Amino acid sequence: MREVLGELAAIRQRDGSAALATVVRTWRSAPRPAGASMLVTDEGEAVGSVSGGCVEGALFELGQEVLADGVPRFETYGVSDDDAFAVGLTCGGILEVFVERVDGQTWPELEGVERSIAREEPVAVATIVRGPHFVGRHLVVRPDHTEGSLGTDRLDDTVREDAIGMLAAGRTGFLHYGPEGERLGEGLDVFVASHAPPAQMFVFGAIDFSAALVRVGKLLGYRVTVCDARPVFATRKRFPDADEVVVDWPHRWLEQQHVDSRTVIAVLTHDPKFDVPALTLALRTDAGYVGAMGSRRTHEDRLVRLREAGLTEAELARLHSPIGLDLGARTPEETAISIAAEIVQARWGGTGQHLATTEGPIHPGAAR
């Protein structure tokens, strides 16, 4: 939606209308990702692109139909390799597109969504794109509240819990439910478009455990940076899955970064000359999680050094050390899973207990 925001705002200001076509799912090498949008305006203009030119003509006609009757459409398009090559693309693919009429009456919350996206405030839009009822309904999900409704309180609550998780990870995608929002049901498809940059994970220390944590961090949706002052270890060859590999002192590099409540900082350096300066700074940021690897003896020594560096007990209480949950991990990969489990627990406030021994909803706030 971001690419058509300006035109959407202009249409809203003149009390006009448009058909908004959004890619909701793709297969193979589709030209545009889920979330790509195109507008067909009430003045006969097309704005944006969903396929790089392969299906825009058909979508323009479909958009005019939606503008005329106001009935949303869900369509699947197959882009052949030959057709894709003809418009300058290297390969084809399959994409599903949802087309809906947008104006001040059909989506009154749109203005607030536009404003949040422009301000880079995290916001997700959940839309029922296929199902027996409520197709085209929207639920706007923010970290602390929602706007609009998908039709029932149960459905709103269930989708809100799932969409908040997707928003925190910066993910866009499909959710499937039963007709009334049952998690194990089917027949109701909800597309969640998250408008937020991916949360960041900073991994300090270029060791084997870091390489495993990078892979798990990417699986969780983080943008992962590895930082180490030793150029012989901090290399792209050793960390091919990282978004960025930085050769610098961790604390010096951290001083230049934007850190928010979604940021994860994992200090795996095992060396006081790296650990203490990095943790001294990290524990005074807004990071949602700060963890440090080491034995219990290393942890106790580290606490002494951090107190000598001036950290308060409240600041030290934020430190997850020794890092991770007690899963009995041995290998770097198992240790990365234990760290990831603690990160998830810290984010959502879980107990870390076996679900088989607990009662109540598995997902807080959701129906059983």
The model carries a pTM of 0.64
What is the pLDDT, as a whole number, of residue 76? Answer: 87
User: Which is more confidently placed, 38 or 225?
Assistant: 225
Residues 123, 69, 79: CA angle, nearest 5 degrees: 65
Taking all residues of the chain, what is their mean pLDDT, rounded to a whole number?
88
| Least confidently predicted of 70-74, 105-109, 150-154, 235-239 | 105-109
What's the pLDDT tens digit per position in 24-37?
Answer: 988 765 667 788 88
Are 1 and 37 within 8 A, CB to CB? yes
In the 3-class helix/strand/coil scheme, how is 236-281 assigned residue by residue?
CCCCCCCCEEEECCHHHHHCCCCCCCCCEEEECCCCHHHHHHHHHH
Distance of alpha carbon 149 from the chain centroid: 22
* % of the chain surpassing 90 pLDDT: 60
What's the pLDDT tens digit per position in 262-295?
Answer: 899 999 988 899 999 999 999 999 999 999 999 9
Are 24 and 96 within 8 A, CB to CB? yes
Phi, then psi, of 119 in degrees rounded to 5: -90, 0
* % of the chain surpassing 70 pLDDT: 92
Are 25 and 174 within 8 A, CB to CB? yes
Q: Is the pLDDT of residue 52 over 70?
A: no
What is the pLDDT, as a whole number, of residue 221? Answer: 83
Helix (H) or strand (E) holding 303: helix 296-308
- In DSSP terms, 18 is beta-bridged to 41, 102
